[in-house]
Structure formats: C-alpha cells, structure tokens
Structure 1
Amino acid sequence: MTLRYEEFRDLHRRPGAPLVLPNAWDRASAAALVAAGFRAIGTTSLGVAAAAGLPDGTGAARAETVRLAHGLARTDALVSVDIEGGFSEKPEEVAALVAEMADAGVVGVNIEDGRPDGTLRDAGHQGEILHAVRETASGRLFVNARTDTYWLPGAGAAEETAERLTAYQQAGAEGVFVPGLRDVHAIAELTAALDAPLNVLHTPEGPSLRVLAEAGVQRISTGSLLFRAALGAAVAAAESVARGVLVPARVPSYAETQALSDAAAPAASGPDQ
C-alpha cells in the first residue's frame, strides 16, 4: 500500500468528521483549493467537459480527464478523479485506465453507473467493472462507486439503491456515492446497513454538514457547484464593470494567480501523458 493512498482512505474513517472533497476542473482551481487548506481534492466531470466545450457524461472528455489527472497527480494534493462510467463498457479497459492513474499518483477514482441515455448500467456488469478495477488497483487507489438511482426521472427507490450499493461494495468498491440523495432518514438507513463509507453531494438547500455527519456520512463532495459558482462570479464581475460599479466579490490579484500557476506546475519535468 502507498502512504498517500492510506492517507486518503483514512480521511473516510473519521467518525463525525466527514471528508469535505471540493471538486476542481483545472490545475489553477485545484491549486487554489489546496492553498485554501484542502488536503484532498476531486475533479468534476461537468467542469472538465464544459471547460473544453464538450458534453458531460458521454465519454467525450476522456482525453481532457486523463491529461488533468496526470497533471494534478504530480502535485502534493491527494487527488481523486471522476472518470464518469470508466470511458468504456469493457472491464479490462476501465481497469487499465485506473491502473494508469494509480501509476501516475492519483489516489482515488469515482466510477458511476449512469449511462449517457439516462438509464443505469446493468448492476451485474457494473460489478464486473468494479471487480476488474479492484484487481488491478487494490491497495493503491480508493474506488468510489456511484449510483445514479436518485438522479433518474422518477427515481429514488431506496431498495434499488441499497441493493446496488451492496453489490458494488461486494465487487470491491471501498466507498459508495449517491448524488441526489437528501433525505436524512434514508441516508441514516444506508450508513447503518453498509460497511463502506457513504459519499453524498452537497447542495445549498440540502442538509448541513453537521446533520450529514450525524447521519453517518463520511464524505461530502461539491460536484460541479464550484465550477458553476465560478461561472456565475465571472459573469457578475463582467456585468459590474459594464455598469461601472464595484465587483461584488474579492478577486485574486495577478501575483496571487500567478503563484497558483506556479504551485500547479508539475513536480516532474515533461509533458502531460
């Protein structure tokens, strides 16, 4: 086992103190989060895809995701990468990608069962993918298995969610993720039934961090929230300039931003893979 993997894994094992995992979309945003004191960061598939002018959740941003993963893995941060559904339906290809990321220094990946057409991947097939990933990355990389049961139209079936998470855990997932799940009672039932740490998505209108911690949640992700907030702040700043009024939020200086770029530079020389 690597020390960095163990450190990231152990951040999911602090009762009453869930890991807050902010999600970056490029090196500068990751460096800014690290400078703010976040030891571990994730990536957001929507942010990575949208920044490149590509659709999210379709596999179109594979190259951008891999490039960013290699770049961020060279920094001191503990990095978990959102690889959508693995960018392939073949377990061996997903496993090869994850092995590449582990070799680069990434300490975690997020693999979802949602498909581009809005349906869920067959649970048995998803289990095969997760099993193949664990066979190649066990002890090196934290696998977080996401189910989109609460994001499908008319979805939210607690029974199917529990069944899928149990199956994914048995297939080798170390953590499980249910975006869209906000009901505290349902969350508490899941955390009581599962051995794996439960990851939920923060929503401004959802339960507070304290309430989620009391319900047993051990990881809270921001998803695309930060990327969307950055877009909103950029537009607000432009509109303030056009109206001749003060920009509504503090803006990092040129020097501060340049320092982030320096911090995001790879520790090792050479282009991204």
Structure 2
Amino acid sequence: MDFGDAEKAGLFRRLHHGDRPLVLPNAWDFASGAALAEAGFPAIGTTSLGVAAAAGKADAAGGTRAETVALARTLARLPVPVTVDIEGGFSDHPGDVAELAAELASFGIAGVNLEDGRADGTLAPAGDQAAVIAAVKEAAPRLFLNARTDTFWLGTPDLDETLRRARAYAEAGADGIFVPGIAGDAGIRAVLDAVDLPLNVLYLPGKSEYPRLARLGVHRVSTGSLLFRTALGATVAAALGVTGEGGAPSVPSYGDVQRHVSDR
C-alpha cells in the first residue's frame, strides 16, 4: 500500500509504539532500500557509512551532504516511511541544519537522525546541540527527529552524561533518543526512565539480542552499517568464488571500510 507524505510521517511515529521494537534496516542506495521495503520492513533508514563509502568518502566527516540529499530524494519514492542519517547536520549553524531538514521534509522524508559526535572524536556541547534540535523542529515539525548521542560510541561510555544529554535533547523537542553502543540492561533502563521518548539502540551482534531488548522496552533497533558491511563481504566472497577460491563471507569492520576509503 502506498502512503502520502503526511500518512508516512504519522505511520512512522506510530511504529515506535507497537507491541515490539521497530527493526529499522539501514540502506545505502535506492536498490537496497527498495529490496528491504519489498521484504516487508515497514520503514527504512539510511547508513551514513554506506552512503559515504559508496561515494569514496569517509564517514562522519561532514562531506556527504549532497549525496545524502540525492539519496533521500530517491528513497522518498518508496512506499514506506524513510528516515535519513544526516550525521551532525553537515554544519555547526542551527539555521543551516534546519534548512536541510526542511528540504528533506519537502521530499516526503519522515525522519532524520542527528548526532552530537564530531569527526575529531569529541561531542558537541549539549547546549549547542539542543539549539540545533530546536531549530530543526521549528523548521520541520512533522519530521521525527531522532537525537543521537555518542556518549557510548566515542571514548569511554558515560551513562551520567548520556542521561543529561537525553533530557536536554528531549526538552529541546527531540522525538526520540538514540544511544548507539549502549547494550547493558541497567543502562538501557536508566535512559528509558530518564525521558519519556522512544529509545533507539544499535543492533550489536552477540550483545543486543532482540527478545531481550523487547523485554526491556526498547522502541527501535537499527542495523547501522551492518547490512552494508555484510554486503561488501558477500561481494568479495562471490568474486573469489568464481575460481573456487572463495570461502565463507567475512564481514569487514567499520574501521576496515573507513580504511578502504582513506587509503585511496
């Protein structure tokens, strides 16, 4: 069934309040997004690593605004809601990020991921990030703004700082909180108790069992770059298999993919 833009936006919000967590697979081009939608996933996200690497660029460096917008425009044709990873917004100025969000919303995009991690491995000041969130919500109120904090993804995990930022982002108008890297029961429960917003976690093989996350009350589980990296591994294995030399596919790490791009 095809939905209009407003219907997609409303459906995407409702998917965060179902009987079980929304599994959000992350696409890197139109073909992967279309295949995932055809497979029955009710919504599709994008992976910034996949988008950047496919363009020969490094992830999280703020250099893929054009590629992200171009992909969003095509993915908006899918019959399901789409949310777009815009890294840190490709600018430090709230007005610029708000303008980008409004442009994506005009295509029919249902949501965005906006992260506070920066390319140098630091976190944006929480107050500055909250100002960006507020500007985005004012410019594109219908967008589901998933506020990502990298307090577990960068450096040493810091639950206290995670909770402080989650509260600040919620007060600024965020629609959801994303804490990639968090996996323990206690930490997840603490975030759920801290803010009355849907919690998104990153699927980590061997650490983020879906039934356990569902029991804890997690609302959304993203695959991040996993699908893209798995596809790369399968591609190499298939090519090697032509001569009978291929073995079981090996999934490259995030660092492996970044190295492929930066070494050339």
* The two structures share one fold, judged by TM-score above 0.5: yes
Residue number in structure 2 paired with 1:103: 106
Alignment of 1:1-273 (within 5 A): 2-15=6-19, 17-138=20-141, 140-153=142-155, 155-243=156-244
Partner-residue secondary structure (3-state), 1:110: strand
CA distance in 2, matches of 1:34, 1:221: 15
Deviation at 1:13, TM superposition (A): 1.0
Deviation at 1:207, TM superposition (A): 2.5
* CA root-mean-square deviation: 1.4
Q: For structure 1, list consecutive stretches of 5 or more residues without a partner in the other structure.
A: 250-273
Deviation at 1:59, TM superposition (A): 1.0
Matched to 1:190, the amino acid is: V
Partner-residue secondary structure (3-state), 2:74: helix
Moved over 4 A (4+): none
Partner-residue secondary structure (3-state), 2:191: helix
CA distance in 2, matches of 1:183, 1:203: 11
Q: For structure 2, list consecutive stretches of 5 or more residues without a partner in the other structure.
A: 250-264
CA distance in 2, matches of 1:124, 1:216: 28
CA distance in 2, matches of 1:23, 1:51: 14
Using the aligned pairs only, state the percent identity: 56
Which is greater in Rg?
Answer: 1
State the TM-score, normalized to the length of structure 1: 0.87
Deviation at 1:219, TM superposition (A): 0.3
CA distance in 2, matches of 1:161, 1:199: 13
Deviation at 1:157, TM superposition (A): 1.2
Partner-residue secondary structure (3-state), 1:166: helix
Matched to 1:128, the amino acid is: A
Matched to 1:89, the amino acid is: D
CA distance in 2, matches of 1:77, 1:188: 30
CA contact (8 A) 2:166 2:191 kept: no
State the TM-score, normalized to the length of structure 2: 0.90
Partner-residue secondary structure (3-state), 1:59: coil
| Number of positions where the alignment pairs a residue of Structure 1 with one of Structure 2 | 245
Deviation at 1:3, TM superposition (A): 1.8
